[in-house]
Structure 1
Amino acid sequence: MIETWVFNDGAVPATAAVAPQMLRDRITAGQLETWFTSSRGRSLAVLSNTDRAMVLLLDSEDDPGQHAISPAADGSSMGFVLVNGQHDEYPDEDTVPLTEALRIISHILDTGLPPVGAAWSIDR
């Protein structure tokens, strides 16, 4: 069975072709947290501050999952605003530039896996 994805806030299908632009539009509109759910029960989350993004991939609701990283990055970035209004700051090594996040998300939506060469932290 091929894994399919939808945006969590509706039954809108999320494909590699349309998701990056939809995410850009959401981020531009101030919606900085977006979740996807797959037909296999996995979740994919993107939390942005408009410049960088945390990309999380979870196998189930209880799974600590894995996330994209920038191992050589220094410092931290603020401005990650969750849907519940919480404002977070993350080390830059735990986030990736937004363009890289969109590439990663597109690849996961298309293949189910992070792209080769994308750095990941396994949090399990």
Structure 2
Amino acid sequence: MTECWVIDDGSSTVPVSSEAVLETLRVRIDSGRLETWLTSSSGRSLAFVTNTERAMVVLLEEEGDPGEHAVDPGTDGSSEGFVLSNGQHDEYPDEDTVPIGEAFRIVEHIVSTGSWPANARWVVDR
């Protein structure tokens, strides 16, 4: 069975295909929603939080899982402006985030195939 993904807004869920996920993320970002959670039919979660230049992408196997996240090894500095849906403003080391274009590519691939792209870099936080 193919894994299906939905945008989880807390009160509703909106199905999203790999073909539509990037446009959905762009619309959400343009409207100021910088945090997006996707939930799969197998119970996994995919978090996408951006400051519009870089993004934190985290894949969780189940609730409570520390997960795994995309990285940009060797990148110095940190970036702020990651605004969560609860209003919290976060700052992350740049090596723990990826450029927005790379984040889009990773999310699209995970929604399409269920796994990280072969040439993406990520770390397991478990």
The TM-score with structure 1 as length reference comes to 0.97
**Over aligned residue pairs, what C-alpha RMSD do you find?**
0.7
> Counterpart in 2 of 1:113?
115
CA distance in 2, matches of 1:44, 1:14: 13
> Counterpart in 2 of 1:45?
47
Any idea what the Cα deviations from partners look like across 1:47-70, whole Å, max 9, x if unmatched?
A: 000100000000000100000000
CA distance in 2, matches of 1:51, 1:57: 20
Moved over 3 A (4+): none
Q: Spell out the pairing of 1:91-110 with structure 2 (5 A cutoff).
A: 91-110=93-112
Match of residue 63, structure 1, among 53, 65, 75: 65
CA distance in 1, matches of 2:78, 2:6: 31
Q: Which runs of 5+ in 1 are unaligned?
A: none
Aligned residue-pair number: 124
The TM-score with structure 2 as length reference comes to 0.96
CA distance in 2, matches of 1:100, 1:14: 19
> Counterpart in 2 of 1:4?
4
Deviation of the 1:89 alpha carbon: 0.2
> Counterpart in 2 of 1:83?
85
Deviation of the 1:2 alpha carbon: 1.1
| Greater mean deviation of Cα atoms: 7-16 or 72-81 | 7-16
> Counterpart in 2 of 1:24?
26
Deviation of the 1:11 alpha carbon: 2.6
Sequence identity of aligned pairs in percent? 60
CA distance in 2, matches of 1:107, 1:14: 13
Deviation of the 1:25 alpha carbon: 1.2
3-state secondary structure, aligned to 2:13:
coil
Deviation of the 1:13 alpha carbon: 1.2
